[in-house]
Amino acid sequence: ARLGSRGYRYDVLALDKTRGNTGARSNHGSHLRVHFKHCQEIAHHTSRMPVNKALKFLDDVLAFKAVVPFVRYTGGCGQKAKAKQFKVGGSKGRWPVKAVGVYRDLLTNAIANGKSKGLDPELLYISHAQCNRAPPGRRRTYRAHGRIGKYASQPAHIELILTEKVEGVEKSASDEDMEGASGAKITKKMAAKKRFVTVGGGTN
């Protein structure tokens, strides 16, 4: 375990998805004191993104140059002109600065984990981003007439998996002449024709 720049505890999580996969690294933050709904929207938007592009997006959000589009937890969320570029319903978005900062620290830590294992940061992308609701922090607030109300926080568990993108291989000329799964496509009609054998000595 190690501490990020904001003092949160980040654990390297040995997930089943990364066991035996030398081209992937995982990172996990538990009981993070940031809103779960904000983290879920950030993780949803940055999933499947190259890490360099994700870091630039998070930096732009911190500088209020970009907005995090909200697609699930949209209750009471205002419309933003910057959200139109993502084509989300209602153009709803927010600037969750604290959650973005913690998510960025977690992503930076995951990239460092990949570097320590010999992975190329230029080829890494976020193959898995998940956010779960953590047990709420329970406090109390004092109301009128001697009553007490709950004052609960909604922390989050976040886990990331970075995978090295595999470059495609060009198809060779010999593969084009082959038939089957790796070569030319065979239709049902063509396969049926090949099953029939010509019988008889007719000239037709």
Q: What is the pLDDT along the chain (204 residues), one digit of tens a residue?
A: 444 455 554 444 445 555 556 677 788 899 999 999 999 999 999 999 999 999 999 999 999 999 999 999 999 999 999 999 898 888 999 999 999 999 999 999 999 999 998 999 999 999 999 999 999 999 999 999 999 999 999 999 999 999 998 876 666 655 555 555 556 778 888 888 888 766 666 555
Q: Which residue type, as a one-letter code, is found at position 76?
A: G
Q: What is the pTM of this model?
A: 0.73
Alpha helices in the chain (DSSP H): 36-46, 51-62, 97-116, 173-177, 188-195
Please give the Cα distance from 65 to 189 (Å, whole number): 56
Q: What is the pLDDT of residues 26-75, one digit of tens each?
A: 888 999 999 999 999 999 999 999 999 999 999 999 999 999 999 999 99
d(CA 114, CA 25): 6
Rounded-to-integer distance, Cα 131 and Cα 39, Å: 7
